[in-house]
């Protein structure tokens, strides 16, 4: 009798299961994708003005969450103002770090071979990772609960307030970025440098300041991504940036590198796809799927989903 009634009770839930499971995965995917999008924006902006991939970006993301870890100890836990304060401190700290990296390493190499800049970027990335291992220690740490968190349940669908927070903060930052790039003087200068650095210089744009600002802006977004990532996956270590960084780069390429809405779209798409793969039977191939997407997109649509295809001029 009991077994029969149990099977009868479970009947409706198995029918509902796929839809709520689908929505749950979609929500998880979107919140992960929003973080990827934030990191991807930094890659895409730096690529826009300097035409190179800033490998160290993923480690700025890591430094962002470590700044959050240390700053989080000095504010009361589970308060909105405390959490926002930590977010702002991390963003400012990483903006400074990004500008410092640009000033010390990349500026001297401007105009030299692409390969040299690429190798330097890899060097900076490794330096940040392994100095992190020495200074912060290699063992993972638990990120403090800086924001108040509750779970809302709609039937079997569980939405955590942190997921909503991630999506809201990421959306606000992306809107702010869009306003900076299209509505302010420095944003116009950024677009000018991206279009043609020499011509921009001729009409009075100070390229050094613009590039420095771009690094600062991108790094601040990476720091925000780092904090939001650490809130949802509260275990941080010095090598945590590598995988999200690579995936965010894939997201930037997917959307069309150098294209800001493209980076956002690519991030959301990639996060969703990855979460669905993670929930399926092929979950062990989760890390490979991003690279498979990268290879596919580079082969079939190298300009990305929203990018324009350009012919190389000699």
Partner 1 sequence: MSLRFPPSPNSRHGTFRIRVYPCPSVVKNSGSPTIPVPRPHLYLLAALLVALGISQFSDRIDPYFLDVIIGIGINIILAVSLNLVNGYTGQFSLGHAGFMSVGAYLAAAVSLFLGPKILGEAGGTALQQGLMFLAALVAGGLGAAFAGLIVGVPSLRLKGDYLALVTLGFGEIIRVVFQNVEFLGGALGLNGIPAYTTIFWVLAFVALSVFVVTCLVHSTYGRGFLATHDDEIASESVGLNTTRYKIVAFVIGAFFAGTAGGLYGHFKMTITPTGFDFTKSIEIVVMVILGGMGNTLGVILAAILLTLLPELLRPIAEYRMIIYSLMLIILMLVRPQGLFNFKFGKAKL
Chain residues binding partner 1 by CB under 8 A are: 52-53, 105, 108-109, 112-120, 122-127, 129-131, 133-134, 242, 246, 249, 253, 284-285, 287-288, 290-292, 294-295, 298-299, 302, 312, 314
Q: What are phi and psi of 25, to 5 degrees?
A: -65, -40
d(CA 288, CA 60): 23
Query: How far is the C-alpha of 20 from the C-alpha of 154, rounded, in Å?
Result: 9
* Strand spans (E) along the chain: 141-142, 151-154, 157-160, 235-236
Q: How far is the CB of 47 from partner 1 (least distance, A)?
A: 9
Instruction: Check: CB of residue 248 under 8 Å from CB of residue 267.
Output: yes
Whichever of 57 and 68 has its CB closer to partner 1, that residue is 57
Minimum distance between the CB of residue 81 and partner 1, rounded to whole angstroms?
A: 38
Identify which of residues 41 and 297 has a Cβ nearer to partner 1 in the complex. Answer: 297
Q: How many Å apart are CA 247 and CA 37, to the nearest integer?
A: 10
Output 17 or 285, the one with its CB closest to partner 1. 285
Pick 130 or 159: Cβ nearer partner 1 = 130
Q: Which two tokens stand for residue 36?
A: 């990827």
Q: What is the closest distance, in whole angstroms, from the C-beta atom of residue 232 to partner 1 in the complex? A: 23
Report the candidate in 193, 265, 165 with the shortest Cα–Cα distance to residue 48: 193
Cβ proximity to partner 1: between 79 and 116 the closer is 116
Least separation in angstroms between CB 123 and partner 1: 3
Whether 94 contacts 223, CB under 8 Å = yes
Indicate the residue among 7 and 116 with the shorter CB distance to partner 1: 116
Q: Which position has the token pair 């035409």? A: 51
Segment holding 158, helix H or strand E: strand 157-160
Q: What is the nearest approach in angstroms of partner 1 to the Cβ of residue 98? A: 16
Smallest gap from Cβ 216 to partner 1, in A, equals: 20
* Cα 211 to Cα 52: distance, rounded to the nearest angstrom: 12
């Amino acid at each position: 009798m009991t077994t029969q009634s149990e099977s009868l009770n479970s009947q409706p839930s198995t029918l509902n299961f796929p839809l709520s499971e689908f929505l749950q995965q979609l929500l998880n995917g979107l919140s992960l994708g929003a973080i990827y999008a934030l990191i991807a924006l930094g890659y895409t902006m730096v690529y826009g003005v300097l035409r190179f991939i800033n490998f160290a970006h993923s480690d700025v993301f890591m430094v962002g969450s470590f700044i959050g870890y240390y700053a989080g100890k000095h504010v009361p836990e589970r308060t909105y103002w405390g959490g926002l304060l930590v977010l702002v401190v991390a963003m400012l700290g990483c903006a400074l770090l990004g500008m410092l990296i640009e000033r010390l390493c990349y500026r001297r190499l401007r105009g030299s071979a692409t390969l040299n800049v690429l190798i330097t970027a890899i060097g900076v990335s490794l330096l940040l990772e392994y100095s992190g291992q020495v200074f912060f220690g290699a063992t993972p740490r638990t990120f403090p609960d800086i924001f108040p968190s509750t779970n809302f349940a709609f039937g079997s669908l569980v939405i955590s307030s942190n997921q909503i927070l991630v999506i809201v903060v990421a959306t606000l930052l992306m809107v702010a970025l869009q306003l900076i790039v299209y509505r302010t003087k420095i944003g116009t200068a950024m677009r000018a440098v991206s279009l043609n650095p020499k011509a921009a210089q001729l009409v009075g744009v100070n390229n050094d300041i613009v590039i420095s600002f771009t690094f600062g802006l991108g790094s601040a977004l990476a720091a925000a991504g780092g904090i939001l990532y650490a809130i949802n996956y509260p275990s941080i270590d010095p090598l945590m940036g590598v995988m999200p960084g690579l995936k965010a780069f894939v997201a930037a390429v997917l959307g069309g590198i150098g294209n800001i809405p493209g980076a956002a779209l690519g991030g959301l798409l990639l996060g969703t796809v990855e979460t669905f793969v993670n929930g399926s039977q092929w979950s062990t191939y989760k890390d490979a799927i991003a690279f498979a997407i990268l290879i596919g997109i580079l082969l079939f649509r190298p300009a990305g989903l929203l990018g324009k295809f350009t012919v190389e001029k000699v």
